[in-house]
Amino acid sequence: MTKDTPLVLTGAPLTHEEIAQVASLAREVEIDPLTHRRVRETRTALEEAAQSGATHYGINTGFGKFSRQRIEKTELQALQANLIRSHAAGVGEPLPVPIVRAMMLVLAASLCRARSGVRPELIDVIVRTLNAGITPVVPESGSVGASGDLAPLAHAALALIGEGEVFDRTGERAEAADTLRSAGIEPITLESKEGLALINGTHLMCARLALLRSRFLNLFPAAVVAAAMTLDACRATDAFLDPRVYEARNQHGPRMVAESMRHLLTGSEIIPSHDNEDDPRVQDPYSIRCAPYVLGAVFDSARSVWIQLDRELGAVTDNPLVLPREGDDGVDIVSAGNFHGMPVAIPLDTLAIGLAHIAGIAERRVDQILSAHDPETRLRPFLSPKPGLHSGYMIVQYTAAALCNELAGLAAPSSVVNIPTSAGIEDYNSFGPRAAAKADRAMDLVTRVVAIELLCAAQGIEAHRPLRSGEGVERAHALVRSVVAPLHSDRPPSPDIESISLLISEGGFSEPM
């Protein structure tokens, strides 16, 4: 299946590629008929269980601190609608449309696993809203990420019941009820348990991590390419890429990065050009020589993050759960804590730490290029076309340093700081949504730091012409030059940085170089 065919929700785990396609490429979504029937059966079983008169959290009780408050049957619809209204307490700028669409898809997929007890009609409304290109206006801040992403999901649910605001297919902000009805979608009236099922999950933080995975897979190869290009720009040695070294270290990530760098540099004329010279350098700086270890450690760390993500993309993060009872056709309604965001929050914090290291070591290599103006490197100070008259790329290192300073703050974990909520009932929260926002911002910054390194390294490579670098590096160099001209006189570097950043974000360096 591709982005040109509908994504069919079956209850199976989503993939990050599917989420990106629905979020950003408007891929259509459908619900498998068998899944539709299974959701209906679970709903019927929940309704039968609720008729027993027993007390069930969120079905016939209040929420949080009000969980001991029994609600009359005649007030159950109002209970669910009031839950959505009261919890739509987010603040700040609206989340970008792709993030909200991704969140809604993750929510719909979770509900399709038939453990939340909702009617299939509710999932239908979510799917139809996605397919109509209608996106609820969801403020960025307000979720502590423990009883689910309550505030962001409540704002999304508010639109489904015909309240609040949405962005229509053209991106215009409008009233939800009118926009839904103009698309032939009737706002839904929530029945028992359904409001809680809409907001009681980790769907925002999970969706943001899935989108970050797609972006990371475009960024990381660019970071490896930049490291290899800098090696030749600085006329460094490739001796440290000897595969026997990495066999001795016995770490997968460093071995993989070293192999990639060797491949990128295969055929380099620059490396052997200074083998026989009187080069007093014995070892290159850590930022070059240890690049495989730092980048490899980030890669291995990210692999553990993706394992957690893949598990979450097949999860039901609701409470209470409607679970089949062994031995008969009945169900048990079990209150637990599947909504807690820590299994996603810690991976998000981990990802931000790794991103900071990609940028940190890239900035150090930028400084090596711009500071290396001795005879061994054959580079002019700051890569200036005429030192003194032109400043060259002096200030891009300042920019990289500023971004790295911000990244250090973003790498401070959100998940380790607890603030209890709901009068102490919800007394240990994950703050995963803040971790997701920080990781998202970190991805933006790191992409620009790597773009700065590619900008400088491409200029540095040209200082060694007519010698050529390895085939992979030369292809990357040509890609940079397809959007950024060589520096022959001072010009504002900002547009060039943004152009290369766009190349990275679009996956220009993710193809084999």
7-201 and 208-315+341-505 share one fold: no
Closest CA to 318 of 286, 340, 296, 300: 340
Euclidean distance between CA atoms 222 and 355, whole angstroms: 13
The CATH T-level fold of domain 208-315+341-505 is Fumarase C; Chain A, domain 2 (1.20.200)
Are the beta carbons of 106 and 313 closer than 8 angstroms? yes
Structure tokens at 71: 């609600």
Euclidean distance between CA atoms 152 and 82, whole angstroms: 15
Euclidean distance between CA atoms 279 and 216, whole angstroms: 38
Helix axes 342-371 and 394-410, enclosed angle (nearest 10): 160
State the catalytic residues.
Answer: 57
In the chain, domain spans: 7-201, 208-315+341-505
State the pLDDT at residue 430: 95
Euclidean distance between CA atoms 114 and 158, whole angstroms: 22
Euclidean distance between CA atoms 133 and 129, whole angstroms: 6
Phi, psi dihedrals of residue 426, rounded to the nearest 5°: -100, 80
Specify whether the backbone of 417 is left (phi greater than 0), alpha (psi in -120 to 50) or beta.
beta
* Local mean pLDDT, 10-residue blocks, the chain (513 residues): 86 97 97 97 87 71 64 76 94 98 98 96 98 98 92 98 97 97 96 92 97 98 98 95 97 97 97 76 89 98 98 95 84 90 97 98 97 79 94 97 98 95 89 97 98 98 96 98 98 98 96 60
Cβ burial, residue 7 (10 Å; 0-12/13-18/19+) = buried
Residue 236: count other Cβ atoms within 10 Å of its Cβ.
24
State the pLDDT at residue 312: 97
On the CB side of 418, how many CA atoms lie within 13 Å of its CA? Answer: 10
Closest CA to 116 of 107, 104, 105: 107
State the pLDDT at residue 93: 97
DSSP state of 29: E
What class is the 7-201 domain? mainly alpha
- pTM, rounded to two decimals: 0.94
DSSP state of 173: E
State the pLDDT at residue 277: 64
Euclidean distance between CA atoms 448 and 62, whole angstroms: 48
Are the beta carbons of 45 and 331 closer than 8 angstroms? yes
**Percent helix / strand / coil, the chain, rounded to 5:** 55, 5, 35
Q: Which residue is it, tokens 């440290």?
A: 240
Structure tokens at 355: 């991103």
Are the beta carbons of 357 and 298 closer than 8 angstroms? yes
